[in-house]
């Protein structure tokens, strides 16, 4: 679909007020198209002209207020409308095209049983792929859907089912929602139902994953009910969209999407293999995140995409908070500190950085690119600190007032800040200017002066990048830790509110006895790059394994990883810390994230000569974790995954596939087998025959995806050429298969073989952007980037592509950010 500019949206909103859509879909035809008849009712300025988004495969008829509209009025994804009346009825009968890229109405055939499944994803600007509509968030309307489908199918939408007669389904009209929130699924779905507090609940999944859903449904329903109860305690308006359905769909582009009444998740959230506590916790947080959107985003929707933070920052914050408060997963803030916040910090330092709430988002292309670590994790971090500053009671009071005023409508940053300011008695305009309107991140350090065994002065020093010189206020904790008898305990927590200044003396530490460790940002309230003082940093290898607070350990690990990214600490030092401290780590998410991040840094920051030894040390650390973990535990599984990804011991890995030498309690199930085979393929110890043999025994969607990734990873010229051709030129390949093919392509062990493809990326990726669109194109361009080919030559080629004046903005951002990552890696080596 063509991009929609903010100016066009504002002009259209001044002319049009949409009342309703009635969409009647016929999904019974075979092939790649479906029939859609839409009746749109809207008011307009008399005599005005405008347009709606519409991208048909063929048109049967178009009428406006009973008069035919020439088919030539449809061009470039838009239907031109002129001579509007005060009250209008647009009726369009057309044939529309299914997609294979996760946009519009996505069609998927399950390779395990040949069943067809459909799901609708109209996100940002894809509404015209299903119906003619005014596709912008501030033109809300009621949606009523009718569907004719094969008799054996199940159909669900945002609206509640009114009648079903064989394959004919009629659904009730929804409350007013934005076009991008209109949802539908259809196919032979396996369904589980329940009820809670008067709210009907349902879960949907492909029939071939019915067994997995049946096993995990009790936990999913329990989390859903607990989160609903907590949101009802927090918010004065109860869940506002009738039923609460959750569908787990194949090849979904997002982790999940908050469609009111019918939330859609990618079906990996119902794993077929052993599920870890980290994965269970993540699922709980995402359930809470999407539920938060029912208020932040669905009940009250941003007026335009520049206020995306009103959706994603709040849902990200509440996802972690509500999961911690309402479910058994009380450690979600540890996960946030080690994983989610790191995502935000990295995004905030790249060339594409932007404010949490930018003053201008020019069009929908730019809006898509802002679904990043800034809008999610940085925004959530800022909110966490704001709530601590305002107090929870004032925060919730302001939020509830905001909901009451803007229910089923749209709102802006100013609207919410006004409600929070009134509730708290604090003027938030200065806070918003520094935290929401300005980009980049501050670095926070402690400057320590001692008099013998007491502190003469401890000061917090705040710095900012030269190009983004903003200093900010912070609410922050400093943990004072002592080591005695093999235990590290916190003697005191010094809390401070510092202004937007460069240096702040902390009087609470003046004259205090010197500690073994000063932990800056203890409690993880502040958003910033945290650096320990020299004495504390030197003590970390000894003290880190002895800290009992998992959040404190997460803050230290995150700081250590980020220091390597910045080139302040060598990657070899990080690898040594992993070997000495990580085997004692008990928190699964910390084990998982540290192993993953360290391996990624080694792949880019270590030299060709030092990388094998560094990987071996990572493998040793993972091996020690496997040995120290309880048989069958989540920690054992994530450690085993880390070991598989780092080791070069192909004999050991091959033995695990045949059951030889498998650690006690470790289940080598279907997905762990594929992970082992993938590593063997990378190392040249398994070839096409082994991949096809594994696929023959696992003819499922997941098996096909693993096989695609494994084929792309083979150190074979023909395999690489076939994979590359699929990445850049095969439009018939589905979004997930092309992304996984790209994800398996670049391997640091294969640099010599891959060298010719570096220049091919920069020459051929613009062509890929012409055959793919939206998030699928962005994910493919990102996964296919030659990130492990760290060299000045790669940067030269990137500069050449960036000099192209007509470069697609999504590809420009991918290249710009990855090139900056490579700049860091080169300067650190």
| Residue 150, both tokens | 């094969």
Query: CA 763 to CA 257: how far, in whole Å?
Result: 34
Query: CA 662 to CA 665: how far, in whole Å?
Result: 8
The single residue listed with the structure tokens 């709210």 is 199
| Residue 6, both tokens | 């903010």
On the CB side of 711, CA atoms within 13 Å amount to 25
Can you spell out the DSSP letters for 1-14?
----BHHHHHHHHH
Instruction: Give the DSSP H/E element, type plus range, for residue 249.
Output: strand 244-249
On the CB side of 433, CA atoms within 13 Å amount to 7
Nearest to 220 by CA among 158, 279, 261, 160: 279
Between the alpha carbon of residue 665 and those of residues 33, 631, 651, 653, the distances in Å are: 49, 4, 20, 16
Nearest to 692 by CA among 719, 658, 662: 719
> Which residues 6+ apart lie within 8 Å of 161 measured at CB?
169, 170, 171, 172
Specify burial of residue 136 (Cβ count, 10 A radius: 0-12, 13-18, 19+): buried
Task: Confirm if 345 and 566 have CB atoms less than 8 A apart.
Answer: no
Task: Confirm if 94 and 63 have CB atoms less than 8 A apart.
Answer: no
b (16+ CB within 10 A) / e for 211-233? ebbeebbeebbebbbbbbebbee
Specify burial of residue 343 (Cβ count, 10 A radius: 0-12, 13-18, 19+): middle
On the CB side of 325, CA atoms within 13 Å amount to 14
CB count in 10 Å sphere of residue 456: 12
CA 271 vs. chain centroid, Å, equals: 18
Query: CA 450 to CA 511: how far, in whole Å?
Result: 9
Q: At 562, phi and psi to the nearest 5?
A: -70, -35
Task: Confirm if 336 and 320 have CB atoms less than 8 A apart.
Answer: yes
The three-class DSSP label of residue 430 is: helix
b (16+ CB within 10 A) / e for 623-637? bbbbeebeeeebbbb
Nearest 5°: CA angle at 238, between 234 and 242?
145
Task: Confirm if 18 and 139 have CB atoms less than 8 A apart.
Answer: yes
Q: Is 290 a catalytic residue?
A: yes
Task: Confirm if 338 and 557 have CB atoms less than 8 A apart.
Answer: yes
Q: Using N-to-C axis directions, what is the helix angle for 588-605 and 277-293, rounded to 10°?
A: 90
Residues in the chain: 829
Q: Count the helix, strand and coil residues of the chain and give each as a percent rounded to the nearest 5.
A: 45, 20, 30
Per DSSP, helices labelled H in 327-441 are 332-335, 341-349, 364-369, 379-390, 392-406, 413-424, 429-435
Q: CA Rg, the chain, in Å? A: 27
How do beta strands 161-165 and 168-171 pair? antiparallel
Q: At 5, phi and psi to the nearest 5?
A: -85, 160
| Residue 174, both tokens | 């929804």
Nearest to 64 by CA among 79, 45, 53: 79
Annotated catalytic residue, options 290, 316, 366, 704: 290
**Which active-site residues does the annotation give?**
290
């Amino acid at each position: 679909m063509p991009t929609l500019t903010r100016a066009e949206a504002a002009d259209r909103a001044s002319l049009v007020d949409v009342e309703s859509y009635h969409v009647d879909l016929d999904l019974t035809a075979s092939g790649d198209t479906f029939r859609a008849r839409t009746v749109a009712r809207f008011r307009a300025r008399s005599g005005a002209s405008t347009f709606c988004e519409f991208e048909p495969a063929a048109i049967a008829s178009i009428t406006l207020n009973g008069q035919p509209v020439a088919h030539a009025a449809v061009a470039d994804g838009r239907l031109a409308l002129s001579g509007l009346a005060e009250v209008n009825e647009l009726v369009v009968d057309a044939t529309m095209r299914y997609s294979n890229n996760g946009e519009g109405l996505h069609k998927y055939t399950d390779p395990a049983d040949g069943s067809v499944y459909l799901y609708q994803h109209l996100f940002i600007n894809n509404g015209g792929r299903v119906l003619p509509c005014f596709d912008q968030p501030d033109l809300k309307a009621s949606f009523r859907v009718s569907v004719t489908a094969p008799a054996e199918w199940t159909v669900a939408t945002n609206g509640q089912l009114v009648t079903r007669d064989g394959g004919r389904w009629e659904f009730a009209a929804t409350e007013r929602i934005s076009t991008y929130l209109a949802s539908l699924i259809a196919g032979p779905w396996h369904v589980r139902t329940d009820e809670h507090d008067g709210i009907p609940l349902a879960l949907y999944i492909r029939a071939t994953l019915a067994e997995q859903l049946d096993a995990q449904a009790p936990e999913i329903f329990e989390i859903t009910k607990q989160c609903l109860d907590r949101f009802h305690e927090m918010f004065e308006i109860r869940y506002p969209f009738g039923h609460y359905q959750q569908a787990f769909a194949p090849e979904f582009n997002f982790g999940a999407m908050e469609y009111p009444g019918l939330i859609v998740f990618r079906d990996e959230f119902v794993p077929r293999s052993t599920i870890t506590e980290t994965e269970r916790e993540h699922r709980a947080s995402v359930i809470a995140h999407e539920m938060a959107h029912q208020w932040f985003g669905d009940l009250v929707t941003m007026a335009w995409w520049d206020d995306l933070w009103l959706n994603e920052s709040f849902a990200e914050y509440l996802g972690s908070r509500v999961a911690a408060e309402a479910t058994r997963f009380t450690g979600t803030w540890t996960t946030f500190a080690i994983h989610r916040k790191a995502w935000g910090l990295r995004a905030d330092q790249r060339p594409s950085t932007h404010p949490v709430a930018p003053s201008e988002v020019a069009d929908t292309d730019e809006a898509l690119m802002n679904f990043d670590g800034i809008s999610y994790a940085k925004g959530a971090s800022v909110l966490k600190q704001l709530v601590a500053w305002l107090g929870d009671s004032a925060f919730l009071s302001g939020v509830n007032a905001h909901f009451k005023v803007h229910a089923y409508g749209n709102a802006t940053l100013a609207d919410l800040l006004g409600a929070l300011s009134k509730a708290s008695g604090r003027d938030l305009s200065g806070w918003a200017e520094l935290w929401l309107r300005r980009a980049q991140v501050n670095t926070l350090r402690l400057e320590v002066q001692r008099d013998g065994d007491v502190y003469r002065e401890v000061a917090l020093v705040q710095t900012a990048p030269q190009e983004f010189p903003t200093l900010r206020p912070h609410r922050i904790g400093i943990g004072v830790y002592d080591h005695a008898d093999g235990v590290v305990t916190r003697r005191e927590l010094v809390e401070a509110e510092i202004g937007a200044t460069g240096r702040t003396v902390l009087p609470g530490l003046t004259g205090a006895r010197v500690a073994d460790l000063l932990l800056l940002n203890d409690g993880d309230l502040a958003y910033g790059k945290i650096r320990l003082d020299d004495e504390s940093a030197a003590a970390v290898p000894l003290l880190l394994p002895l800290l009992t607070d998992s959040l404190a350990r997460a803050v230290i690990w995150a700081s250590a990883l980020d220091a390597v990214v910045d080139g302040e600490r060598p990657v070899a030092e990080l690898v040594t810390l992993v070997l000495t401290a990580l085997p004692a780590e008990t928190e699964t998410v910390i084990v998982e994230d540290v192993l993953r991040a360290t391996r990624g840094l080694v792949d880019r920051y270590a030299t060709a000569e030092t990388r094998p030894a560094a990987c071996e040390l990572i493998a040793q650390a993972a091996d020690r974790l496997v040995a120290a973990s309880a048989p069958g535990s989540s920690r054992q599984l994530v450690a085993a995954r880390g070991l598989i990804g780092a080791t070069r011991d192909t004999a050991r890995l091959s033995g695990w596939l045949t059951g030889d030498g498998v650690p006690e309690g470790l289940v080598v199930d279907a997905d762990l087998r594929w992970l082992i085979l993938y590593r063997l393929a990378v190392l040249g110890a398994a070839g096409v025959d082994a991949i096809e043999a594994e696929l023959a025994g696992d003819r499922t969607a997941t098996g096909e995806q693993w096989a695609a990734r494994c084929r792309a990873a083979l150190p074979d010229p023909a395999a690489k050429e076939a994979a590359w051709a699929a990445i850049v030129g095969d439009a018939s390949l589905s979004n997930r298969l092309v992304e996984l093919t790209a994800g398996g392509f670049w391997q640091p062990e294969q640099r010599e073989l891959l060298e010719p493809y570096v220049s091919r990326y920069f020459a051929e990726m613009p062509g890929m952007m012409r055959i793919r669109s939206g998030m699928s194109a962005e994910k493919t361009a990102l996964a296919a980037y030659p990130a492990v080919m760290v060299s000045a030559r790669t940067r030269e080629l990137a500069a050449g592509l960036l000099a192209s004046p007509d470069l697609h903005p999504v590809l420009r951002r991918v290249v710009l950010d990855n090139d900056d990552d490579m700049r860091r890696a080169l300067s650190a080596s």
